[in-house]
Structure formats: C-alpha cells, structure tokens
C-alpha cells in the first residue's frame, strides 16, 4: 500500500486530476474502477474522484509494488545537476543567474535546460521529493534567450509559480537589462511599436503601426557609458515579448553587439584589430518587485571584458 499526504501544491484540485498526474501510465477508466472498488481511498474512505483535495488529506493506494511501478513515472534520472549561480531562495522562489548558452526551457525533448537543472538541485537538496514531483512540476517563471544571461525566476511551489507569473503578466515587476549596442546613443528614449513573430523562423519584425498578428511593445533605454562607436545601455523592458529588446533596438539602428539574427556585428574593430563576439551582449541584471524586493545578477565576465576592451581604446 502507498499513502500520499496532500500538500499545498496539490490542495484545491480534484482528486481524479491528481491521480492522473500521480499515476500517468494508468487510464482514467482504470483509476475510476479502482476508486469504485476502494483500491484507492481518501482518508480511508471510499471516494468518487470528484472531491477537492485539502491540505493533509491522505490518499491510500492499495496496489502491489509491481502494479504501482507500472503506472507511475520514473523520474529520478531525468534531472541532472550542475553548478548553479543561485542568487536567492525561499520556500516558494528560486532566483538563478543564468549563464549565456543555457536554455531556460527545453526546445526539444533531448534538451537539458535551466528548468531541469533547477529541479535536479531541488531533488538533491531535499527541498523536493520524487512523489511531490509526480503531482506538481516546478518551473521557470520568465524566459531568457539561450545566449542572454541574467535573472531567471523559478517557482518552487504552486504558490510561487502562480504569484510571480501573475506579477510578470500584470507588469508589477520592473525588469532592467544591460546591453552593449552599435552606435553612439546620447539620450534617454522610449520606443513604442508593434512586434510580429514568425514562428517558423523564430524571428520577429517591428513596425510603427499595427499589422495582422502584431502586438504592441514598449521599450525604454538610456545610455550609461558612451564609447564613440558603441554604447552601454540600461534597458527597461516595459512589455515583455519574444526578442523584444533585440529587435526593437535593431529597428532604430542600434543592434546589440553579437546579435547576428538582428543585424548586430559579430566582429568589431577596436583600434584596427578585429575582435570576435560570441553571443549577444544582453544581460538581465535587475528586477524590482511590487513589495520592494530587489534581485540583481552580477555582470558576466565576457560582458565586463568587452566593456574594458572598448573603454581602453
């Protein structure tokens, strides 16, 4: 017999929906049959499956070990671990300084992303158990492009995932980025336009007026340091759409250094010497929540090295 105690991440959902997630290889018909036969009970009583689960409810499953393993999911080996730069952690939230080159979430089934690494971290640290993972999957809240570094929020619990997803959707979290762009930018400015995404090419285009399928975007930027041919910008992401900063800056003639997709130079000339840039110089460096909580991600080494190089010439 297996017994599961309902926690905050499972509470509030129907029992049958929980069982489908907990025993994903079992059909709904089989699960309802087991409920009718009292092979699955709730608080030691017969259940229909339509009950709303409450914290500390106990679900008893009277299966043999072989049957239970047949219908449950094998998850232990799905989540590798790696060294992570964790900036903040509480009961509901984890904040990661994501390095350039790491996916936020899987693009293909074979990918390993920050999402898998952070679940692996929680399993290894004991903050999450395999049984809890069967009914609730922690997840990233925001997304960063593979070659953009910086702040990545991760909901450890259903509460954390819902609260921070809502805050981002309602724009009660202020998001700031650092970017090195082509050109001499002298003034603070707010860009207002429309973004259209081409799903097949994974690329967006910017227009001044609304067109079919476009969404309004607003991006604010100000120069922090000017280097003649290049400028370090502080960018306030007011709306948050795919590739918004990259495409919006490129549309006004200031593409991000290293961003080949949006016409940023992959090689820059410094005192006549060609310097290759391996990724777009964009870093999600600060988030300010409505409650005043501030998260900041240190500037990565490749970003600092490029700034030092262009500053010396």
Residue 212: in which H helix or E strand, if any?
A: none
d(CA 50, CA 31) in angstroms, rounded, equals 12
* Among 92, 103, 13, 77, residue whose Cα is nearest residue 49: 13
* Long-range residue pairs from 200-206, CB within 8 A, at least 24 positions apart, any chain: 203/243, 203/261, 204/241, 204/242, 204/243, 204/244, 204/247, 205/247, 206/247, 206/248, 206/250, 206/251
**Mutual angle of helices 28-36 and 15-22, in 10-degree steps:** 120
3-state secondary structure 87-107: EEECCCEEEEEECCCCCCCCC
Residue 278: in which H helix or E strand, if any?
A: none
At CA 202, angle to CA 147 and CA 264, rounded to 5? Answer: 50
Task: Let me know: does 127 contact 110? Beta carbons within 8 Å.
Answer: no
* Among 105, 79, 84, 81, residue whose Cα is nearest residue 96: 84
The single-letter DSSP state of residue 279 is: S
Residues labelled catalytic: 145
HSE value, Cβ hemisphere, 13 Å, CA-based, for 71: 19
């Amino acid at each position: 017999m297996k017994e599961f105690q309902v926690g905050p991440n499972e509470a509030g959902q129907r029992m049958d929906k929980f069982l489908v997630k907990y025993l994903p290889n079992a059909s709904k018909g089989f699960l309802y049959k087991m409920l009718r036969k009292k092979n699955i009970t709730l608080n030691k009583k017969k259940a229909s499956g339509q009950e709303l689960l409450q914290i500390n409810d106990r679900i008893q499953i009277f299966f043999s070990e072989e049957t239970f393993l047949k219908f449950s999911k094998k998850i232990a080996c799905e989540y590798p671990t790696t060294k992570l730069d964790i900036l903040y952690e509480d009961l509901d939230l984890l904040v990661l300084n994501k390095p350039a080159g790491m996916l936020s979430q899987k693009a293909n089934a074979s990918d390993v992303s920050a999402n898998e690494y952070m679940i692996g971290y929680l399993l290894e640290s004991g903050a999450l158990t395999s049984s809890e993972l069967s009914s609730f999957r922690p997840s990233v809240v925001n997304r960063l492009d593979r070659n953009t570094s910086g702040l990545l929020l991760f909901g450890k619990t259903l509460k954390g995932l819902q609260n921070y997803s809502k805050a981002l959707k309602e724009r009660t979290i202020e998001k700031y980025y650092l970017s090195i762009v082509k050109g001499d930018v002298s003034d603070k400015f707010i860009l207002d336009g429309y973004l259209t995404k081409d799903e097949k090419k994974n690329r967006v285009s910017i227009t001044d007026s609304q067109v079919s399928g476009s969404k309004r975007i607003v991006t604010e930027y100000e120069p922090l340091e000017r280097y003649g041919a290049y400028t370090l910008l502080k960018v306030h992401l007011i709306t948050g759409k795919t590739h918004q900063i990259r495409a919006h800056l490129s549309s006004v003639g200031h593409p991000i250094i290293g961003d080949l997709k949006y016409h940023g130079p992959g090689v820059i000339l410094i005192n006549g010497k060609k310097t290759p840039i391996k990724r777009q110089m964009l870093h999600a460096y600060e988030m300010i929540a409505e409650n005043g909580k501030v998260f900041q991600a240190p500037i990565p080494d490749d970003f600092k090295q490029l700034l030092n190089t262009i500053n010396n010439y």
